[in-house]
Amino acid sequence: MSKISDLDIIDLAGTRAKGARPYYFNDPDSDRLLSIVMAVAMEHAVTRQRLDALERLIEAKGLLSRQELDDYVPDRAAEGERGVWTQEYIARILRFVQQETETLRDGVDVDIHAVQDELR
């Protein structure tokens, strides 16, 4: 039997249950993707709850009211910075879509196997 200090707790926390897992969608890749997306959704909720707790604690200490936060209006400079951040954020999330659509501009991409053969 292991010692507690030897346990890989990250691995053990996420380990599978014995018994073949069913897949539900017509393509099992959709099951894979959904499971990852839902885990991200949960972690997003966890972050949101943490932020909410932080706001309430700050308010309770009288440093800032949540009304002030909700009523916050950025000045023009801040508005611009926040807009840029939002654009970058969306682009990061949709990077894959961007890269796939780049083939419209660039045509069919270089086949890596062909290059391997070429350079062999």
Alpha-carbon distance 2 to 43, whole Å?
30
In single-letter form, the type of residue at position 92 comes to: R
Which token pair is 53? 């707790």
Task: Tally the C-alpha atoms within 13 A of residue 8's C-alpha that lie toward its C-beta.
Answer: 4
| Shortest Cβ 100–other proteins spacing (Å) | 24
- x/- mask, other proteins, residues 14-53, rule CB under 8 A, reads xxxxxx-xx-xxx---xx--xx--xx--x--xx--xx--x
Contact residues toward other proteins (CB under 8 A) are 1-4, 7, 9-10, 12-19, 21-22, 24-26, 30-31, 34-35, 38-39, 42, 45-46, 49-50, 53
